[in-house]
Amino acid sequence: MRTKEASNSAELLTYAPFTLFPTPVPKAVFRQAVDVQIHYNSLVDKISQSSDFLEEALASTIEVDEFTSRLFKIHKQILEEGRSQSVVLGLNRSDYMLDQRDDGSSALKQIEINTISASFGGLSAGVVNVHKHILKVAGRMEDSMAILDNNPGAGLARAIAKAKELYGSERAVVLILVSDDEQNIYDQRYIELELMKLNVRTIRRTFEDVCVRGSLDEDKRLFVDDMEVAVVYFRNGYVPQQYKSQQDWDTRLMLERSHAIKCPNIATHLTGTKKVQQVLAQPGVLERFFPTELHVVDQIRATFTGLYTLDMGPEGDKTVAMAIQDPERYVLKPQREGGGNNIYGAEICKVLQEAKGSERTAYILMDMIKPTSSHNYLLRRDGPLTVSNCLSELGVFGAYVRQGSTMVMNEQVGHLLRTKSSVHADGGVAAGVAVLDNPLLY
């Protein structure tokens, strides 16, 4: 990774932080997470096609959350104009923790699903060989051989390549939309290299680059620097601060209006909001998307934890009272990606008590998942090498490609384990809190 002090330098680098040893994970819950991923892919895709559901689910949020509101306005404009591309590409990552039950067993509970810029599909592959080597050196040959092969980046690239093939132009390129200040560039580069192996050409551009040197022709085909773009892969544009001006919002609209395949398109981006996650947990909602597949409903619902609305009205009032009475039991979540945004403990009371009118509807409330801790060494550039009490989070990558009504590809393509010291409540690898890890199944 690049360093925080020089996040634009290709000369000054550090290693991505990682655990010295892999973390034990029960085989049954790991398999559960892997097996349900194709159903989550289908669910995300179905929601993205249901404009009525998205509008209904996000109605209260877009009134008070400006970022979600601006995304939704683009979504509405695209619906009014008509979508110009029938091929849909989704690269998702569903994140879980293992909640400890009273009987000592573990239950897989979803934290969130990421539908835009799901990261560490590249770097996570490298940790496999590191842990295999460490376990061999430690004399744990059997454990070393038990570490699962894992290469999410290759699967993500395969889906991008399939979408590009369906676009139908040999000369067209894949545009990776990036920020001009990217510490995690090599995770992205890994997927570019996998695409290179598949003879797919990629270009890296920022919002500003596309604004200045991008255009649509009369057929809405997107050109950047005179190159036709088949796929726009967003590794930027998922938090408000990445839109530095109205110009960036105009560029996002141009990309969405284009004939290029967007990953994600604006509807899929909105599907990943916390509010949609909370609405899906309400009784009868999943059945709306899988009316004849109740086994799929059961598999997905089994991963839900308690999720509560903060909409105005008696139910939202009840949620507020419940949270203020016992804030340690809950997490308050805004509609934001990227880690480090959640609110815990006494701060929940402060935010909810100070929220004026409908401001509280910018958040959802979720049960606090309480995983069993483990002990490990966290290897990072700036930290002492001491044993830490650790908590882990399992992510599973999914990739799908749909053309019209035909699902061309729907796969689970790998996993990611991130581990952090239990002293930190929130934050991912890119945020400088968690480190890369591997599951050691038992």
114 is a catalytic site residue: yes
> In the block, which residue shows the tokens 């590249």?
122
Answer yes or no: 112 catalytic. Answer: yes
84 in catalytic set:
no
Among candidate residues 42, 112, 150, 438, the one labeled active-site is: 112
Q: Is 338 a catalytic residue?
A: yes
Nearest Cα to Cα of residue 152 among 196, 97, 91, 237: 91
Residue 64 token pair: 């008070």
**What is the torsional sign of CA 91, 293, 302, 361?**
positive
Catalytic residue among 333, 360, 402, 428: 333
**Contact (Cβ atoms closer than 8 angstroms) between residue 60 and residue 289:** no
Question: What residues form the annotated binding site for Mg(2+)?
Answer: 112, 114, 337
C-alpha distances (whole Å) from 195 to each of 41, 201, 203, 233, 349 are 22, 7, 11, 12, 48
Is 333 marked active-site? yes
- Euclidean distance between CA atoms 98 and 121, whole angstroms: 21
Angle between helices 246-257 and 66-81 (to 10 degrees): 30
CB 29 within 8 A of CB 100: no
Q: Is the dihedral of CA 295, 296, 299, 303 positive or negative?
A: negative
- Catalytic residue (one of 274, 275, 360, 402): 274
Strand pairing of 227-234 and 222-224? antiparallel
Active-site residue (options: 132, 392, 418, 428): 418
Binding annotation = 93, 112, 114, 116-119, 182-184, 188, 235-238, 274, 333-342, 344, 366-369, 393, 418, 420, 426, 429-430
Which amino acid makes up residue 310? L
Kindly name the residue from 338, 345, 427, 432 that is annotated as catalytic.
338
Contacts of 314 (CB under 8 A, 6+ apart): none
Q: Is 93 among the catalytic positions? A: yes
- Which residues are registered as beta bridge partners of 394? 96, 417
Q: How far apart are the C-alpha atoms of 259 and 216, rounded to whole Å?
A: 9
Active site annotation includes 337? yes
Binding annotation for substrate: 93, 116-119, 182-184, 188, 235-238, 418, 429-430
How close are the terminal C-alpha atoms of the chain, in Å?
A: 31
Report d(CA 364, CA 349) in Å as an integer: 14
CA-to-CA separations, 360 to 58, 277, 327, 376, in angstroms, rounded = 14, 17, 15, 38
What is the C-alpha to C-alpha distance for residues 276 and 349, in angstroms, rounded to an integer?
23
Catalytic option among 337, 360, 392, 402 = 337
Task: Provide the CB-side half-sphere exposure for 353 (13 A, CA).
Answer: 8
Which residue of the set 42, 94, 114, 392 is catalytic? 114
**Sheet with 343-344, edge to edge strand ranges:** 307-308, 363-367, 330-334, 343-344
Looking only at the bridges linking them, the beta strands covering 23-25 and 330-334 are unpaired
232 closest CA partner among 280, 266, 184: 266
Residues taking part in catalysis: 93, 112, 114, 119, 274, 333, 337-338, 418
